[in-house]
Amino acid sequence: MNKPSRQLAIAGVLMAVLCWAGNALVARAFAGEIPPFALAFWRWSLALVLILPFVALPLWSHRAALRHAGWRLVVIAAFGIAGYNTFLYSAAQTTAAINITLVNTCIPLMTFIFAGLLLGDWPARRAWWGMALAVSGLLVLICRGDWQTLAGMAFNRGDLIMLLAVLDWALYTVLLRRWSKYLAPIPPLALLGIFMLLGVPMILPLYLYELSTGAQLLATPANLSAIAYTAVFASLVAYLGWNNGVKVLGASTAAMGNYLMPVFTAILGWILLGEALQLFHWFGGAMIFAGLLLATLPKRSQRAAA
C-alpha cells in the first residue's frame, strides 16, 4: 500500500466520522420534529436523486459485475443503507445522547470480532492496546470526568435498539471487506448508487407503517435543511470516504475512527451551539487520538518499505 493512498483513506474515514457527528446532532435536535423512519427514508431518497444522474451510465456499463456480485449487494445494502441509521434514529426517540454514545463504543470491538471470525483478520496486540486507550478516553468524555456518572446511568429500550445498530454497522463494515473482490470492479460512486437503489425500497414499508400510525413530517425550512444535510454529508460524502477507508485500511482499522465521534460532536457543539469545551473534553480527546495513533500506525517493516 503506498503512502498517499493510505493517507487519503485515513482522511476519508475522518471526514465520514465528522459528517456522522453532525448526523448525531441532527438526530438529537430533530427527534421531536422528524419521525425516525421518515428521516431515514427521505434522507436516502434525496441522496439517491442527487447521485442517480452521475451513476446511471456507470451502473449500466458495469452490469456484468453487478450481476456477479448479485445477492451480496442486497445484503450489504440492507445493513448499510436500510439498517444502521434507521436503528439510530429510532433509538434517539427513547434514549439520551450519552447512552447512544456509550453503546457506540462497542462498534470497533464488534468489528474486531467479526473481522476475526469472518475474515481471519485478528488485529495485532498493539491495536487492542490502542482500542483500550481510546475506550478509556471515551469514558472520560461520557462521564464528564466524574466516574460516579457511569454508575448512575440507566438503560432502556432505545439502548437495545442502538445495540442492534452497532451489530448492523460492524457487519456492514466487515462484509465490505469480505466481498471486496466482487465489489472492486464497480466504481465507488456507482457502488454507493446501487446500494441506495436496493436500500431505499427496504425502508419504504417502515415509513408507510409510520405514516399509518399518524406520524407526520412537516415541510418546514428547518426540517428540510436537516434532511438535506443528512442526504449530502451523512450519506454521500461520509459513505464514499468510509467505504474507501475500509477497502484500503481494512475493517478493524477503519472502525477505530468511530471513537472520534464524541470528540467531533463536542467540537461541533462548541462551534454551532456555543457549548463550552471543558478540561475533560481535551483530556478525553487526547486519549482517544493517542489510542487511534497507536492502533493505526503501520508496522515498522511497512514504514521501512514505504
Answer yes or no: is 25 within a domain: yes
Better-predicted residue by pLDDT, 128 or 298: 128
CB atoms within 10 A of CB 223: 17
Answer yes or no: is 303 within a domain: no
Domain count for the chain: 1
Domain, as residue range, for 135: 6-298
The model carries a pTM of 0.80
Answer yes or no: is 220 within a domain: yes
**Do the beta carbons of residue 193 and residue 52 sit within 8 Å?**
yes
C-alpha cell read off for 185: 470492479
Measure CA 132 to chain center. Answer: 20
Identify the pLDDT of residue 133. Answer: 76
pLDDT tens per residue across span 55-107: 999 999 999 999 999 999 999 999 999 998 889 888 877 766 656 666 676 78
**CA separation for the pair 109, 171 (Å, rounded):** 12
Answer yes or no: is 191 within a domain: yes
Answer yes or no: is 150 within a domain: yes
Identify the pLDDT of residue 120. Answer: 79
Answer yes or no: is 305 within a domain: no
Please name the residues in contact with 108: beta carbons below 8 A apart, sequence gap of 6 or more: 131, 134, 252, 255, 256, 258, 259
Measure CA 116 to chain center. Answer: 20
CB atoms within 10 A of CB 299: 10
* Closest among 77, 115, 110, 76 to 251, alpha carbons compared: 115
**CA separation for the pair 100, 103 (Å, rounded):** 5
pLDDT tens per residue across span 197-221: 999 999 999 999 999 998 888 889 9
Helices 36-61 and 188-212 pack at an angle, to 10 degrees, of 150
Degrees (nearest 5) of the Cα angle 266, 45, 181?
A: 85
CB atoms within 10 A of CB 159: 18
Answer yes or no: is 28 within a domain: yes
Identify the pLDDT of residue 143. Answer: 66
In the predicted structure, residue 15 carries a pLDDT above the cut 70: yes
Answer yes or no: is 1 within a domain: no
Better-predicted residue by pLDDT, 264 or 184: 184
